[in-house]
Amino acid sequence: MFSTSKSWKKFNVTVTGVFDPDADQIKKVSAMEGKSVTLNTGVKLQKEDLMLWRFARATKGDPVHNNPCQNDATAIAKIYGESREISLDPGDGEMFNNIVKVDKLSGSLTITDVRPEHSGMYILQITNNTGIKCRRFSITVSDAAKSHSHVVWMSIAIVFMVIVAVGCLAVGVQYKKDLFRSVCKCCQAKGAECALQDHALQQQQSLVQPAP
């Protein structure tokens, strides 16, 4: 400060916050159409917390992958830590209508009847007096009809393999039986031939022996 004399004042600024090593991570979740899927926050809801769930359709090159707290994503649920009051939004086209639940202790989000259109990025934003934390979840929902078709074809393939294996085993057993029979016949034929040779030899020996 400059006037008729100089004077100085110093200010000490301390910035407090929470280091969030999980902010850039995306937890991937797979679900089957028609089933229930839960996105766990992994924390306990505190009185000063405000938890906000947002949904964004994730596509290749979507900025939602680069911004942990995507603000233009659609808000679908909110819970206040102090009052435990839950506010739900059905979303675009009411795609989340009557199928979303929020746990009052952890703020975890559950979709009770998940469908392919629910595939995308889910952003959890936790705001309190220490700052803002964000978590991201990527849900991939498999079509039930395609999955059922895949299971059917897999079952057919397994049954076919079992039939082939049983057939090969039966052929092998039959081959062994035929081989055994052939060997037995050969042995019987050889045995008869040997008996004839012994009989002929005995006759020859009786002829050459001198009379007493």
Average pLDDT over residues 144-158: 65
Residues with Cβ within 8 Å of residue 38, at least 6 apart in sequence: 108, 109, 110, 111
Distances (CA, A) of 201 to 113, 193, 212: 95, 12, 21
Please answer whether residues 112 and 124 qualify as being in contact, where contact means their C-beta atoms are separated by less than 8 angstroms: no
Residue 81's nearest CA partner among 152, 118, 120, 130 is 130
Q: What pLDDT sits at residue 92?
A: 79
Rounded Cα distance between 45 and 80, Å, is 9
Please answer whether residues 118 and 141 qualify as being in contact, where contact means their C-beta atoms are separated by less than 8 angstroms: yes
User: Of the ranges 28-32, 89-93, 153-157, which one carries the lowest mean pLDDT score?
Assistant: 153-157
Q: What is the pTM of this model?
A: 0.58
Ranked by mean pLDDT, which of 25-34, 57-66, 100-109 comes out on top? 100-109
Q: What pLDDT sits at residue 206?
A: 58
Average pLDDT over residues 38-45: 92
Question: For 22-33, how does the pLDDT look when each residue is reduced to its tens digit (9 = 90+)?
Answer: 666 889 999 899
Average pLDDT over residues 117-123: 90
Ranked by mean pLDDT, which of 67-71, 104-108, 166-170 comes out on top? 104-108
Q: What pLDDT sits at residue 63?
A: 46
Q: What is the DSSP string of the chain?
A: -BSSSB--------------TTTT-EEEEEEETTS-EEE---S---TT-EEEEEEE---TT-GGGT-TT-TTSEEEEEEETTT--EEE---GGGTTTTTEEE-TTT--EEESS--GGG-EEEEEEEEETTEEEEEEEEEEEEPHHHHHHHHHHHHHHHHHHHHHHHHHHHHHHHHHHHHHHHHHHHHHHHHHHHHHHHHHHHHHHHHHSPP-
